[in-house]
Amino acid sequence: MPLDVNDPEQINKTIKSVTEKYDIDVVLNNAGYLLMGPLEGMLDEQIVQQIQTNFFGVVRVTKAFIPYFKAKIRV
Protein backbone atom coordinates (compact mmCIF):
# COMPACT_ATOMS: atom_id res chain seq x y z
CA MET A 1 0.00 0.00 0.00
CA PRO A 2 1.68 3.27 -1.04
CA LEU A 3 2.20 5.92 1.59
CA ASP A 4 3.91 9.27 1.18
CA VAL A 5 4.74 10.34 4.75
CA ASN A 6 4.88 13.95 3.54
CA ASP A 7 1.23 13.89 2.46
CA PRO A 8 -1.10 14.21 5.49
CA GLU A 9 -4.20 13.41 3.40
CA GLN A 10 -2.64 10.19 2.11
CA ILE A 11 -1.52 9.26 5.62
CA ASN A 12 -5.07 9.62 6.94
CA LYS A 13 -6.61 7.70 4.01
CA THR A 14 -4.10 4.86 4.33
CA ILE A 15 -4.48 4.57 8.10
CA LYS A 16 -8.27 4.57 7.78
CA SER A 17 -8.09 1.84 5.15
CA VAL A 18 -5.65 -0.28 7.17
CA THR A 19 -7.46 0.04 10.49
CA GLU A 20 -10.78 -0.89 8.88
CA LYS A 21 -9.28 -4.15 7.56
CA TYR A 22 -6.85 -5.15 10.29
CA ASP A 23 -6.46 -5.05 14.05
CA ILE A 24 -3.23 -3.07 14.45
CA ASP A 25 -1.12 -3.49 17.60
CA VAL A 26 2.21 -1.99 16.48
CA VAL A 27 3.37 0.63 14.00
CA LEU A 28 6.81 0.12 12.51
CA ASN A 29 7.54 3.60 11.34
CA ASN A 30 10.70 3.45 9.24
CA ALA A 31 10.17 5.64 6.19
CA GLY A 32 13.16 7.67 5.18
CA TYR A 33 16.08 8.12 2.87
CA LEU A 34 19.74 9.02 3.01
CA LEU A 35 21.15 12.19 1.53
CA MET A 36 24.85 11.54 0.95
CA GLY A 37 27.73 13.75 -0.05
CA PRO A 38 29.59 16.75 1.22
CA LEU A 39 27.41 19.21 3.11
CA GLU A 40 28.58 22.14 1.02
CA GLY A 41 27.23 20.38 -2.09
CA MET A 42 23.73 19.97 -0.70
CA LEU A 43 20.99 22.45 -1.39
CA ASP A 44 18.96 23.76 1.54
CA GLU A 45 15.85 22.34 -0.14
CA GLN A 46 17.40 18.85 -0.15
CA ILE A 47 18.25 19.06 3.54
CA VAL A 48 14.77 20.36 4.42
CA GLN A 49 13.15 17.56 2.38
CA GLN A 50 15.21 14.95 4.19
CA ILE A 51 14.21 16.35 7.58
CA GLN A 52 10.58 16.55 6.45
CA THR A 53 10.65 12.89 5.47
CA ASN A 54 12.91 11.31 8.08
CA PHE A 55 11.72 13.25 11.13
CA PHE A 56 8.36 14.87 10.45
CA GLY A 57 7.15 11.88 8.42
CA VAL A 58 7.58 9.67 11.48
CA VAL A 59 5.84 12.27 13.65
CA ARG A 60 2.90 12.59 11.21
CA VAL A 61 2.30 8.84 10.96
CA THR A 62 2.64 8.35 14.71
CA LYS A 63 0.22 11.21 15.46
CA ALA A 64 -2.27 9.85 12.95
CA PHE A 65 -2.32 6.44 14.68
CA ILE A 66 -2.73 7.82 18.22
CA PRO A 67 -6.55 8.22 18.07
CA TYR A 68 -6.88 4.63 16.82
CA PHE A 69 -4.76 3.27 19.67
CA LYS A 70 -6.55 5.40 22.27
CA ALA A 71 -9.94 4.13 21.07
CA LYS A 72 -8.63 0.57 21.10
CA ILE A 73 -7.56 0.91 24.75
CA ARG A 74 -11.00 2.18 25.77
CA VAL A 75 -12.80 -0.85 24.31
The 10s digit of each residue's pLDDT in 9-66 is 999 999 999 999 999 999 998 889 999 999 999 999 999 999 999 999 999 999 999 9
Residue bearing the bigger pLDDT, 65 or 74: 65
Q: pLDDT class for 75, splitting at 50, 70, 90?
A: low
Burial (0-12, 13-18, 19+ Cβ within 10 Å), 73? exposed
Sign of CA dihedral 37, 40, 46, 49: positive
pLDDT for the residue 43: 96
pTM: predicted TM-score of the whole model, two decimal places: 0.86
